[in-house]
Structure 1
Amino acid sequence: MFARGSLVELLISSNIARYAEFRSVSRVVTWLPDDDGSGKGHLEPVPCSRADVFATQNVSVTEKRMLMKLLSACMDRENHPEELQEFENKTFLEFLRAKKLTPNIIHYVLYAICMGTDSTTFDEGLVRTHRFLYSLGRYGNTPFLWPMYGSGELPQCFCRLCAVFGGVYHLKRSAEAIVVGEDSLCKGVVSAGKRLDAENLVLGMEYAPPKYLASAPKGGLSRGIFVIDRCVF
């Protein structure tokens, strides 16, 4: 979770954060290919803060100046919109190349800070980079927080608060059908042969009818399990 993201702000404003424990991610790393063309690579810490940028040995002095200048421009984009207008219909990668950045700096910014791809649009790349930088320093040296006992704790936290205000949960009971009115709004669900009226319905996208997914945000989740025989640093 981003330290200044909407989810963290919701956890704070609703006081749900008291039901869970969080820790700051201590370090962000990226995979850099080796220069020998062998196809192998290694993990390197991503310089997040100003101190990290000037302390890292993987970025030259010239590259450090390039990186700091670029990150400052991304944070101050609203005050100088005219300088960025020419890139509105281009990709973020084209923007980085236009700034005469080295491949090393482009890798750090595009894949580690922006967490984008070669096809990420310029506007989206700026938003992602700004979100990363804006979350730095709030709770630690990186912009991320993680629940100490897994992300499954978050739904349970919301359930606890809901119960405080009279919410009732019926476990191990599935919905057999969704009752939709003429106005295309959900009126309830059918479970165990009985209709249960509800003003709102929350369910996973994989269970929703296709016609309700047209306006759903598109996204993805990448997971990986790595077995290592040594410390990654």
Structure 2
Amino acid sequence: MDEEYDVIVLGTGLTECILSGLLSVEGKKVLHIDKQDFYGGESASLNLSQLYSKFKPSGQKPELKGRDRDWCVDLIPKFLMSNGELTNILVHTDVTRYIEFKQIGGSYVYRNGRIAKVPSNEMEAVRSSLMGIFEKRRMKGFLEFIANYDEDVKSTHQGLDLDTNTMNEVYNYWRLENGTKDFIGHAMALWPNDDYLNEPARQTYERIVLYVQSVAKYGKSPYIYPLYGLGELPQGFARLSAIYGGTYMLDTPIDEVLYEDGKFAGVITKEGKAKAPIVIADPTYFPEKVKKTGQRVIRAMCIMDHPIPNTNDLDSLQLIIPQNQVGRKHDIYIACLSDVHCVVPKGYYLAIISTIIETDTPHVELEPAFKLLGPRIDTLMGIAELYEPQQDGSKDGIYISKTYDASSHFESMTDDVKDLYFRVMGKPLVLKKRPNAEEEEGLNGL
């Protein structure tokens, strides 16, 4: 196989597959290799046997209905913001042709011991059970300020400067209560902790706008999700790469990495030698070139035969437990899906809990979430260490992605994609708006 390529990509995680798709479209000759025999790497969706052999190899498997392949359980539960960057990349590259999406039924937050719907606009804020009557008025004023804010029209700024005023100062200007700050910051701006309060308000403003626009796009919630699980996303980008001449090899371990003058030069596999001046890889391929971020994520996949109580029997939702509400430093996320998304057989629900570990007994940290779920048929848990590259890749031609974090959406992952694209290509990723009919209709299935 002694062949020359422009780029070799190792691992078929979502980050790697998006990049191999984008680079193939740019005319690069891409070779994409994965040591595993399925797509998706850390972001794969597993069938029932794969799931149990990974998380409970010697454990008792409960009697569950349906065929093995009726189950598609994500290793990393995340939803797409319907107006977010990943959705923009999907539309820009036409990968939407291969994947059908379904909306997520609702967005909820845990507050004062109960579950409440997150208000997505001024009208819902007025009806929300989260606030008293005066607080509702203040919240309505705050949301109107966000909606009407115009950089060039001073009168819309209310005397605030998003680049110098902290988010806490903006909240205080509207006299918002701590509980209201909590759900705006954690369930709308989707910050994982409270550090953002003392930072300039600009980024939080942008996050709230993204949330509100995402809700406005299809109603109900800001989130969408691919049928048959997130494992469909890497495969969609892999097809894109293949259409543009990319070569894929699954189940192909790397026998040796080749270097010339300290720089990456290629790899040797059972198929022979493949040469390229640069490589994009997930952290598992170059353990000596990554460092631990110091954070670990625990995820629990809960199989249930009922929807989450107190959520209007919705077929899917996101539920956020803000850290303040349960005396933690990091939020706890719950993603719930059902047969409507083709990830479990009819009659089952899948709730996946994730958070950053703070103690020596991580499973105990999930108790507040378990309490909200009600009875569970089975629970499978996994812990993942988070890694990031030690260097930017410019010296040795080795560009490494970051591990997927505990957040409940893909915005941090797309930041990593754009960052890697810029380092590899030397120019920013520009997503062209496509004024075709398909764009007008939105995504498949919605």
Q: How does 1:133-148 map to 2 (within 5 A)?
A: 133-148=212-227
Rounded to whole Å, the distance in 2 between the matches of 1:137 and 1:63 is 23
What's the CA shift for 1:86? 7.3
1:100 equivalent in structure 2: 175
Q: 2:125 aligns with which of 53, 56, 61?
A: 53
Structure 1 spans left out of the alignment, 5+ residues: 34-40
- Aligned partner of 1:119 in structure 2 is 195
> Does the CA-based 8 Å contact 1:53-1:64 persist in structure 2?
yes
Equivalent residue, structure 2, for 1:84:
161
Is the contact between residue 26 and residue 140 of structure 1 (CA under 8 Å) also seen in structure 2?
no
CA contact (8 A) 1:93 1:119 kept: no
Shift of 1:51: 3.2
- Whole-Å separation in 1 of the counterparts to 2:142 and 2:257: 50
Once the two structures are TM-superposed, the CA of residue 30 in structure 1 deviates from its matched residue by: 0.6
Q: Structure 2 CA distance, aligned partners of 1:205 and 1:225? A: 24
Q: Read off the aligned partner of 1:143 and give its amino acid letter.
A: P
- Cα distance between partner residues in 2 of 1:52 and 1:143: 14
In the TM superposition, structure 1's runs of 4+ consecutive aligned residues that sit over 6 Å from their partners are 217-222
SS in 1 for 2:241: helix
Q: 1:104 to 1:167 in 2, by over 3 A?
A: same
Specify the SS of the correspondent of 1:195: strand
Distance 1:205 1:231, change over 3 A: same
1:8 CA drift (Å): 0.8
CA shift for structure 1 position 16? 0.7
Give CA deviations for 1:10-53 in whole Å, capped at 9, x if unaligned: 111211111111011120001112xxxxxxx2211111133322
- 2:90 is the counterpart of 1:11: yes
Who is 2:309 aligned against?
Answer: 231
Distance apart, 1:207 and its partner CA? 3.3
Unaligned runs of 5+ in 2: 1-79, 312-446
Secondary structure at the aligned position of 2:143 is classed as helix
Give the whole-Å Cα distance in 2 for the aligned partners of 1:51 and 1:211: 51
Please give the secondary structure, in 2, of the residue aligned with 1:78. coil
Q: State the partner residue of 1:37.
A: none
| Distance verdict in 2 for CA 1:199–1:52, change over 3 Å | farther
1:171–1:211: structure 2 CA closer, same or farther, 3 Å change rule? closer
Task: Supply the distance in 2 between the matched residues of 1:193 and 1:57 (Cα, whole angstroms).
Answer: 62
For residues 171-190 of structure 1, the aligned pairs below 5 Å read: 171-182=250-261, 184=263, 186-190=264-268
Q: Per-residue deviation at 1:219?
A: 9.3
Larger strand fraction of residues: 2
What percent of counterpart residues are identical?
Answer: 21
Q: Which moved more, 1:174-183 or 1:143-152?
A: 174-183
Q: Shift of residue 176 of structure 1?
A: 3.7
Aligned equivalents of 2:294, 2:212: Cα separation in 1? 24
Letter in 2 for 1:205: P
For the residue of structure 1 that corresponds to 2:248, the secondary structure is coil
Contact map agreement 1:133 1:143 (CA 8 A) in 2? yes
- TM-score normalised to the size of structure 1? 0.77
From 64, 70, 73, give the equivalent of 2:136: 64
Deviation at 1:132, TM superposition (A): 1.3
Query: CA–CA distance in 1 between the matches of 2:310 and 2:266?
Result: 50
Q: Answer yes or no: is the 8 Å Cα contact 1:25–1:140 preserved in 2.
A: no
Answer yes or no: is the 8 Å Cα contact 2:122–2:144 preserved in 1.
no
